[in-house]
Structure 1
Amino acid sequence: MNRMIRAAAAQIAPVFDETGLGTVGKICRTIADAAQQGVQIIVFPETIVPYYPYFSFIRPAFRMGAEHLALYDRAAVVPGPVTEMVGAAARAAGMVVVLGVNERDGGTLYNTQLVFDATGELILKRRKITPTYHERMVWGQGDGAGLRVVDSAAGRIGALACWEHYNPLARYALMTQHEEIHCAQFPGSLVGQVFADQMEVTIRHHALESGCFVINATGWLSDGQIADIAGDPALEGPLRGGCFTAIVSPEGKLLAEPRCEGEGLVIADLDFGLIAKRKRMMDSVGHYARPELLSLLHDRRPARTVHYPDDPPEGVEPDSLQDRT
């Protein structure tokens, strides 16, 4: 209860290169820089590797084929070079790392969140359960197997991406597993100030309801990047604003000045005693719950297109991360 750790939320811009590994290199450098400041857990923005598909927000589907295929070429395979590079950086820094990637699995892309322990081990791979609006033309759907809280060197970690936070049952699934640190990721540089305002309300409410810390990271685009993506000054407006990188306490308080412009880290010390202080008064999955009236059915089986005779029986947890995800 009296444990303290130092956390960081990173607001950074992607690197648009031919391989997608330029962004990964930038992430690894950011991890090393954060380690110099005593950071023990860091959260990066939604699908920052290689970049969020901003093109899908400003182009009709029939005009985004080339950009979609380019994202396929640069997307991460898990496990693969991206997980090796980031895992090595996490291990060298002794830091828990939460990273958003575009994951390619066969012929489908997924919005995927990766959690690396301080040893560099990949301890969670989860996919966004429902891509939002324009994103449905880019990514496939995840499943309930990824709605999982994992133990790490920094504490019990849960994660959701962007508007998954507007699915109260998804959030509740993580609450029931007693997350201590919730890692939220949004794209940033999208929609305008209203997006940042909504984001603040969302993450502060989850901190209060779950009785946990929330580390939220949003991406950032420079003026030059916005111009390149838009290709037309009339399309640049939707790619500005919407950044709110912040860290919130279980009491719903901002623990550091949020970052709404530019690149940089938001850093704060997390006092785990605040979790018990909040839950003593309101534990939404304990003494404040009414399970005989309201309960949640959570199907944690991975979605599969084929089932084999040697698959584990229903209700039996698989042994490996590969089986889990």
Structure 2
Amino acid sequence: MTTLPVAICQAAPIPLDFTGGIEKATRLAREAIEGGAKLVAFGETFLGGYPLWLDEAPGAALWDHPGTKALHQIMLDQAIVPGDERLLPLQELCDESGACISIGAHERVRRSLYNNQLLLRPGEPPLDHRKLVPTHGERLVWMRGDGSTLGVHEAEWGRAGNLICWEHWMPLARAAMHNLGESVHIAAWPTVREEYALASRHYAMEGRCFVLAAGLVQSKEDLFEGLMRVGGSPEARELFEAIENSVLNRGGSIIVAPDARVLAQAGEDEEILHAELDLSEIGQGLASLDTDGHYSRPDVFELNVDTEPKNGVVWSKG
């Protein structure tokens, strides 16, 4: 394949309601695939919604806050788990269409939550990428990932991988992914504001790959609607009521070429953003810059990536 049609589904998640979110994601992904896309991207934690109250609700980070605790319980109950059958509609869509779908989710492993950007692919289990470092207030919600979920999917047209939000300012994480030789990189964001667009364009230039920078659209009203769908909580509702702004995530998704130029850009509303990627641009760009090859100095710098899972507990028979 010399060209690859792709799409970003810039949409409002259904906060807290994972089953409803999967239904919406399946409908939107199908629409994008019917429009020709062979790779479809959604923003950070589309399944479950980005936990905006951590930034927007005064007092959310206070110790023992009843609203924060109530929301954490809901997320634990609703979150996807490894091998979750609720993902089957998305997986079946990949299998029947031959397309790949990158989608963010809250994931529960044992009794902790992770920020996972899943890459669903035809005929194979999803490729996990758990966020290595939750950003600032996110540490109240998510556990840190490990090197076992740094990887790429091998497709007929090339390799695809994910990083999430501020991981794009982790130089060694970028270097590790560049070493894996991505043709297309999904940069998952809650919203693609100016500095996030700059980071995405820099990644494309540095990695000589195409970048799908996928953002969400999310409002205060979305939070209330999602809460009601999962049964509601007076403590959580009170926390949401303290949020001042009405529009909280403003989309701004972009699709970027390996020379950092913007091929397509979304507005602030829900839309499906399409682009046709000319994969020959990757090799042309490598003529002047290959940060993993002729522009590296392996005699000076060396990166060690530990891909062993870190479970924290090892059970043995002694």
Give the TM bin, normalised by the shorter chain.
Answer: 0.7 to 0.9
Residue in structure 2 matching 1:285, options 292, 309, 314: 292
Q: Is the 2:216–2:249 Cα contact (8 Å) retained in structure 1?
A: no
Residue in structure 2 matching 1:219, options 216, 220, 245: 216
SS in 2 for 1:103: strand
Q: 1:227 to 1:69 in 2, by over 3 A?
A: closer
Q: Is the 2:4–2:278 Cα contact (8 Å) retained in structure 1?
A: yes
Cα shift at 1:53:
1.4
Aligned twin of 1:24:
22
Aligned twin of 2:188:
185
Q: Is the 1:110–1:139 Cα contact (8 Å) retained in structure 2?
A: yes
Q: TM-score, normalised by structure 2?
A: 0.88
In 2, the alpha carbon distance for the partners of 1:264 and 1:91 equals 24
Cα shift at 1:116:
1.3
Residue in structure 2 matching 1:249, options 254, 257, 262: 257
Cα shift at 1:111:
0.3
SS in 2 for 1:7: strand
Q: 1:145 to 1:283 in 2, by over 3 A?
A: same
| 2:232 equivalent to 1:231 | no
| 2:141 equivalent to 1:138 | yes
Residue in structure 2 matching 1:170, options 169, 173, 180: 173
Residues 82-97 of structure 1: pairs in structure 2 closer than 5 A? 82-97=86-101
Cα shift at 1:246:
1.0
In 2, the alpha carbon distance for the partners of 1:155 and 1:27 equals 24
In 1, the alpha carbon distance for the partners of 2:250 and 2:301 equals 35
Residue in structure 1 matching 2:110, options 103, 106, 110: 106
Cα shift at 1:101:
0.7
Aligned twin of 2:158:
155
In 1, the alpha carbon distance for the partners of 2:299 and 2:147 equals 23
Cα shift at 1:221:
1.3
Aligned twin of 1:210:
207
| 2:204 equivalent to 1:201 | no
Cα shift at 1:241:
4.8
In 1, the alpha carbon distance for the partners of 2:98 and 2:87 equals 16
In 2, the alpha carbon distance for the partners of 1:93 and 1:114 equals 18
Q: TM-score, normalised by structure 1?
A: 0.86
- Report the residue type matching 2:244 in the other structure: L
Aligned twin of 1:306:
313
For structure 1, the 5+ residue unaligned runs are 189-194, 311-325
Cα shift at 1:56:
2.1
In 2, the alpha carbon distance for the partners of 1:263 and 1:243 equals 8
Aligned twin of 2:5:
6
In 2, the alpha carbon distance for the partners of 1:289 and 1:301 equals 26
Q: Is the 2:40–2:102 Cα contact (8 Å) retained in structure 1?
A: yes
SS in 2 for 1:235: coil
Q: 1:123 to 1:170 in 2, by over 3 A?
A: same
Q: Is the 2:190–2:249 Cα contact (8 Å) retained in structure 1?
A: no
Cα shift at 1:216:
1.2
- Report the residue type matching 1:235 in the other structure: E
Aligned twin of 2:44:
46
Q: 1:241 to 1:67 in 2, by over 3 A?
A: closer
Q: Which is further off, 283-292 or 60-69?
A: 60-69
Cα shift at 1:301:
1.1
Q: 1:226 to 1:101 in 2, by over 3 A?
A: closer
In 2, the alpha carbon distance for the partners of 1:178 and 1:39 equals 22
Q: Identity over aligned residues, as a percent? A: 30
Cα shift at 1:308:
5.8
Cα shift at 1:232:
3.5
Q: 1:180 to 1:308 in 2, by over 3 A?
A: farther
| 2:276 equivalent to 1:269 | yes
Q: 1:111 to 1:154 in 2, by over 3 A?
A: farther
Give aligned pairs, total: 299
- Report the residue type matching 1:231 in the other structure: F
Q: Is the 2:217–2:250 Cα contact (8 Å) retained in structure 1?
A: no
Cα shift at 1:243:
2.9
In 1, the alpha carbon distance for the partners of 2:211 and 2:183 equals 9
